[in-house]
Amino acid sequence: MTRRQLLASTLAAPALFAAPRLPIKKAVLLSMLPADLSFNDRFQLAADCGFAQVEAYTVADQKTAEEIKKASLLAKVPIHSVMNSDHWKFPLSSPDPAVVAKCRAGMETSLRNAKLWGAETVLLVPAVVDAKTSYADAWKRSQAEIRQMIPLAQELKVVIAVEEVWNKFLTSPLEFARYIDEFKSPWVRAYFDVGNVVLFGYPQDWIRTLGPRIAKVHIKDFRFKSTPTSGGKSVADFCPLLEGQIDWPEIYQALAEIGYQGTATVELGRSDKAQLTEISQRFDKILTNTSAA
């Protein structure tokens, strides 16, 4: 080998070991985009900042829903999912039939929004455990209600994607997997949130356990910190991407292992163009396993 060949091979070596980009589409919440912009401008901003898709929210007004569809088509930024509303305020696990009916109606609207927009999933928080609702009741009631929704989901070809949140329910990956499996339906899957499980687990473990059950992914970071009001005690807090305690190389590896090729949506607060651009760039580091660089 000549000196020139040796130098060339040395410079090329790092590229041989560079991690491939995960085949995951980047998305942003519609609610993160500036509210003072028109829907056309919001979707275009998402595209300009490097996002390929958008996750929308439940829209009851048909005219507004049509406006959102047109904005999505104009900017060529598809809506991949709908974040159902009112499932916290009106949970399916409530003992009050009137409350459950409101959640059921909201889910039907969300499913029909998804059909109109071409979205693949509707995110659903399935239940809330509280002083009046036991864990067992939350499990039984929510499953019974979701089973009644499956025929509509199948008709519309939209997946009901159940998400784990801070609702004292589905607090382990094994329980989450079992909950999904008991439906025995391809129209009920998991919407996995990386940041939501850090309080009681390791997201990479949840990803590997849930595996092909995962329909969609939410991305946000999380940290424990002390504040003047906490008396020196550690409190939980969400934070900007790559500034928390989530092991992003492990998340990258876990997603690669299960062969996830869907969409991941960043879930943070409302942001301007500069902030969205920064978020998109940090998101790229996660998907290319360069977050530690």
Digit-coded pLDDT (tens) for 152-163: 999 999 999 999
| Alpha carbons 274 and 285: distance in angstroms, whole number | 17
Helices and strands (H and E) in the chain: how many: 9, 10
pLDDT at 224: 77
| Alpha carbons 225 and 165: distance in angstroms, whole number | 20
| Alpha carbons 272 and 292: distance in angstroms, whole number | 25
φ/ψ of residue 121, rounded to 5: -140, 160
pLDDT at 280: 98
| Alpha carbons 45 and 169: distance in angstroms, whole number | 36
Query: Is it the case that residue 88 has pLDDT exceeding 60?
Result: yes
The pLDDT > 90 percentage for the chain reads: 84
| Alpha carbons 117 and 115: distance in angstroms, whole number | 6
Residue with tokens 């929704």: 149
Query: Is it the case that residue 7 has pLDDT exceeding 60?
Result: no
pLDDT at 232: 56
201 DSSP 8-state letter: S
* Ordered DSSP codes for 33-88: S-TTS-HHHHHHHHHHTT-SEEEEE----HHHHHHHHHHHHHHT--EEEEE-SSTT
Q: At what angle do helices 203-210 and 173-181 cross, to 10 degrees?
A: 30
Taking Cα atoms as reference points, which of 77, 82, 81, 79 lies closest to residue 48?
A: 77
3-class DSSP state for residue 265? strand
Whether 254 and 204 have beta carbons less than 8 Å apart is answered as yes
Amino acid at site 236: A
Which structure tokens are listed for 60? Answer: 């009851």
Reported as a single tens digit per residue, the pLDDT across 28-48 is: 999 999 999 999 999 999 999
List CB contacts of 13: < 8 A, sequence separation 6 or more: none
Mean pLDDT in residue range 158-176: 96
| Alpha carbons 189 and 69: distance in angstroms, whole number | 25
Mean pLDDT in residue range 210-222: 97
Q: What angle do CA 119, 116, 59 make, to 5 degrees?
A: 90
Query: Is it the case that residue 11 has pLDDT exceeding 80?
Result: no
Residue with tokens 């946000």: 220
pLDDT at 293: 67
CA-CA distances (angstroms) from residue 19 to 9, 86, 131, 291? Answer: 18, 40, 48, 12
| Alpha carbons 149 and 123: distance in angstroms, whole number | 13
| Alpha carbons 234 and 232: distance in angstroms, whole number | 7
Q: 235 pairs with which residues across the strands?
A: 225
Mean predicted lDDT score pLDDT of the chain? 91
Of 4-18, 25-39, 139-153, 164-178, which range is least confident?
Answer: 4-18
Which structure tokens are listed for 63? Answer: 């005219």
Supply the pTM of this predicted model. 0.91
Mean pLDDT in residue range 132-151: 97
Which structure tokens are listed for 114? Answer: 């998804």
In this structure, the strands spanning 188-193 and 159-163 are parallel
